[in-house]
Structure 1
Amino acid sequence: MLEWAKLLNGERQRKSESKSYPHRNEFDKDYERIIYSSSLRRLQDKAQVFPLQNNDFTRTRLTHSLEVASLGRSLAWNIGEWLIEKKAFEGFAEAKQLASLVEVSCLVHDLGNPPFGHYGEDIIRKWFKEWFASDLYKDKVTDTDTDTDTDTDKIIFDELSTQQKNDFIYFEGNAQAIRILSKLQFLNDQYGANFSYATLATLMKYPWASDHGKVKKKKKFGYFYSERELFKEIVSKTGTEECRHPATYILEAADDIAYLTADIEDAVKKDVFDWDKIYQEIRHEFGELYPKEFYRLEDLRRKALLNKVPNKNLINVQNFKVTIQGIMIIAVVNTFKEKYDLIMNGEFEGDLLSNSTARTLSDKLRDVAFKYVFSNKEVLTLELVGDRVLNDLLDLFVNAVVNVKSIKKTKSKHEKLVHLISENFRHIQRISEKGEPTVEFEDLPLYNRLQLVTDFISGMTDGYAVNLHQELLGVKLP
């Protein structure tokens, strides 16, 4: 049985020096730690669905994350008030903690996504699956022929473990977010942004390693080999083990509600499809199930016509978005209440929205998005560009890091490429187990060298990745 006293654990790897007050808990501190960070700002140049353009409407990963945080906070307050009534919470302070925990977790939930969204993850996974099966990898790891190799400059590495390989073959943006917050968002030491254990546990949607039996089926995992000791600390401090943190379900529901409605709104703004036609389909299918809500939508649509509102399709879909979000919020909160004992026992399967009364409605919105949004020419073109860009960058930088012994010089092409990798990421790889920057590049094992590349590439914005790709291919000068 999970316990809220441990689930709301605000401790950190490095003890916080700032004070907590009734109006400012540890999760509010997490929010303040990340809101000014470069990692969060990069999300403004990462596409949500449609390619980034010179207008202020189409959502980016940053605006999406802000919307998810708002929805998550609302869901958490609703649930927190119920937990007070249920006596699971002693009072307002714990409800406030839950709301703050969910809000900051929602804000950073996409922090580890590479350029070009989830398709970027697929590109990285496919590239490494092929690379580990290639002679290029096999030629670099220890084998029986190394003693007779006459090439004295050849660099030989120990073969990676299954978990280490799977970290790349099933590369996961959620695990990368944990890595960013615990290491890569560098301040003064090896603890990164030094987030609270409860927030890190909430972000870990898939609390198992990449070599776990669940990975082959789900293609998902929660942490890299490099963060294995941190994972042990997180589960010890929060008591979650291989169970999801209850707040994770709230985060996931907020994300689902946000993108299911917002992606359609963006598509209507871009005239991707005839909104009136789609709306009538949805009303015909769900009008009797939600009569009050659709009566209100019809009234708002009549007012838009009467008042000769410009861009009435956009106004209508925005009213639709707000109404549908309200339906799904109530459904999700009710499901959390109904499944509470299963959630606290670590026995709940699936997600809140799919197990709610709004399941068929959410399925309909998902079908609309797949049929009209994700198949849109602009979206497909962005993915094809991402495919070329990321494959070429991985070719260049992985080939560089596995063929360079030292980076004290910048004479060869490989040495120059390694020096292009963020100095911040190179510095983090230099930090020893004692927390001191004493590890030299020539002593880095293969796993660390490959992770140096994925840290660098996954941290790029869409625009930076495209520009660097063009520069390295000679399409344009730096």
Structure 2
Amino acid sequence: MTSNVSLGPYACDPALSRGRRHADVPAPTRTEYQRDRDRIVHSSAFRRLVYKTQVFVNHEGDLFRTRLTHSLEVAQLGRSIARSLALNEDLVEAVSLAHDLGHTPFGHAGQDALNGCMRDFGGFEHNLQSLRVVDWLEERYPQYDGLNLTFETREGILKHCSRRNAELLESREPHGVGERFLLGRQPSLEAQLCNLADEIAYNAHDIDDGVRSGLVTLAQLREVPLFDRYRSAAQQQYPQLADEGPGQRRLLHEAIRRMLSDQVYDVIDSTRAALARHQPASVQDVRRLPAMVCFSEGMRAQSQVLKQFLMRSLYRHPQVVQTMDAARRVVQDLFAAYMDAPQQMPPAQAGSAERGDLQRRARTVADFIAGMTDRFALREHERITGQRLLG
């Protein structure tokens, strides 16, 4: 099936996809990228995202963002921008929904802990793990492992990749998704857009979650020009909204809404200018040119100030640090326990770990831990160690 949507010459056309690793019969009513999106939504890894955290551990509150809600927000932002730029919305949505499938429990703290555990076994990269999930770890089809997604979706999922891992991917799949990292080329514009939509989404919702948690205040946010100008404008227009009291939530939401809107329009305008400057006539041109989905210089600088504020005031807040230290210990203890006694894992993982060498055992353990939700990891840790570190 072909898409009825008008695409720019630089956009990914599903009819011209580089295809799947295993041949599949085309669907009569869906394009290839729509099929990718549907496979992702129905995957086990996608469902588990609802119990994986962004900043706050799952037990800390029902309204904080999870990896699932974050992925939905990225998809919404991405589709809105893609429509204005004549990019492929379905591909943007598929990549957005899949980009965090390989994230560990406990956010970046869990990822860092697992990377440390895997230091002697090739390390752990969550982007590469997301690719492992869709290529190998999902078990849904009788013909092959994984979800058998198109090249373009898989390329977008692999946002970052070390040279060592890119070389390994290239040896297994010549001219595949690892090649661009070796040649210094760009991914598709749809993949570039997902990268930026990811940044826009997490900056905005971390402000929201930070204030909701009480770890960040609207008064503190006045030192962030990108946010404060929208807060000030909203307060001038709606004087009944105060920094404190009943109006605080509405003021916060209105400021974030305005900030998101301006960032979206900034990306659209800046990317249009880049497209006009470079005039890519095909997806192949896009790969050879500099990145074109971008903020303006002014918005990029202001976004960086916001990120620095969040790092200083939220991610390094003593309460968050204390929780993340405990989370790192959970991951480290689980890794050591499973390496020592693989039979503590379910039979499929235990069998895989016991049949191979130490390298295979470590990767099997890492796959199992990375797939855990926050609450399952905590329950497993308590079962094995008798200790309850969180929750």
**Pairing partner for 1:248 from 187, 191, 198:** 191
In structure 2, what residue type is equivalent to 1:33? R
Segments of structure 2 that go 5 or more residues without pairing to the other structure are 1-8
Structure 2 CA distance for aligned equivalents of residues 52 and 320 of structure 1:
26
Selected match of 2:286 from 324, 344, 368: 344
Q: Sort the Cα spacing of 1:66 and 1:105 in 2 relative to 1 into closer, same or farther, 3 A.
A: same
The equivalent position to 1:12 in structure 2, one of 20, 36, 42, is 20
Which residue type is aligned with residue 103 of structure 1? Answer: E
Equivalence for 2:262: 327
SS of 2:186's equivalent in the other structure is coil
Residue 335 of structure 2: which of 368, 389, 394 is its match?
394
5 Å-filtered alignment, 1:48-447, equals 48-53=54-59, 55-80=61-86, 95=87, 98-129=88-119, 132=120, 165=121, 167-168=122-123, 171-187=124-140, 188-206=142-160, 209-211=162-164, 225=168, 228-230=171-173, 232-234=175-177, 242-245=184-187, 246-275=189-218, 277-282=219-224, 287=229, 296-304=233-241, 311-340=246-275, 341=278, 344-348=286-290, 352-353=294-295, 356-398=297-339, 400=340, 414=341, 418-425=342-349, 441-442=354-355, 444-447=356-359
* 1:351-400 CA-partner distances (Å, limit 9, x unpaired): 724x54311321232122122211234321221111211111121222x3
- TM-fit CA distance, 1:350: 9.8
Larger CA deviation: 260-269 vs 114-123: 114-123
Match of 1:26 in 2: 32
The CA deviation at 1:299 is 4.0
Q: Which amino acid aligns with 2:101?
A: L
User: How many correspondences in the alignment?
Assistant: 371
Structure 1 length-normalised TM: 0.69
String of CA shifts for 1:389-420, please: whole Å, max 9, x gaps: 1111121222x3xxxxxxxxxxxxx3xxx233
Does 2:32 align with 1:42?
no
Q: Please state if 1:471 is matched with 2:357.
A: no
Contact 1:46 1:462 in 2 (8 A): yes
Given residue 117 of structure 2, which amino acid in structure 1 is its aligned partner?
Answer: W
Following superposition, which runs of at least 4 residues in structure 1 exceed 6 angstroms of deviation? none
Are the equivalent residues in 2 in contact too, given 1:184–1:425 (CA < 8 A)? no
Deviation at 1:338, TM superposition (A): 3.2
The structural deviation recorded for 1:325 is 0.8
Q: Which moved more, 1:113-122 or 1:9-18?
A: 9-18
Partner SS for 1:304? coil
TM-score between both structures, scaled by the size of structure 2: 0.83
Q: What residue ranges of structure 1 are gaps of 5+ in the alignment? A: 81-94, 133-164, 212-220, 288-292, 401-413, 431-440
Alignment correspondent of 2:361: 449
Structure of greater Rg: 1
- Any idea what SS the aligned residue of 2:62 has? coil
Supply the distance in 1 between the matched residues of 2:76 and 2:14 (Cα, whole angstroms): 25
Per-residue deviation at 1:337? 2.7
Report what 1:88 is aligned to.
none
Distance 1:66 1:468, change over 3 A: same
Q: Contact 1:265 / 1:314 at 8 angstroms: preserved in 2?
A: no
Q: Look up the SS of the partner of 2:118 in the other structure.
A: helix
- Distance in structure 1 (CA, Å) of the matches to 2:42 and 2:376: 20
Cα deviation, residue 228, structure 1: 4.7
Alpha-carbon spacing, 1:240–1:20, altered in 2? closer, same or farther (3 Å): farther
- CA 456–258 in structure 1, closer or farther in 2 if over 3 Å, else same: same
Cα 1:338–1:425, aligned 2, differ >3 Å: closer, same or farther?
A: farther
Overall identity of the aligned pairs, in %: 24
> Are the structure 2 counterparts of residues 328 and 388 from structure 1 closer, same or farther at C-alpha, using a change threshold of 3 Å?
same
Q: Which letter maps to 1:118?
A: H
Quick one: distance in 1 between partners of 2:371 and 2:170?
Answer: 17
Q: Does 1:461 align with 2:378?
A: no
- Residues of 1 paired with 2:11 and 2:82: CA distance? 17
Q: Compute the displacement of 1:254 (Å).
A: 0.5
User: Residue 27 and residue 70 in structure 1: after superposition, are their counterparts in 2 closer, same or farther (change >3 A)?
Assistant: same
Counterpart of 1:420, as a letter, is Q
For residues 45-92 of structure 1, give each alpha carbon's deviation from its aligned partner in whole angstroms, at most 9, with x where no partner exists. 111111223643111111111111111111111111xxxxxxxxxxxx
Counterpart of 1:16, as a letter, is D
CA pair 467-124 structure 1, distance change in 2 beyond 3 A: same
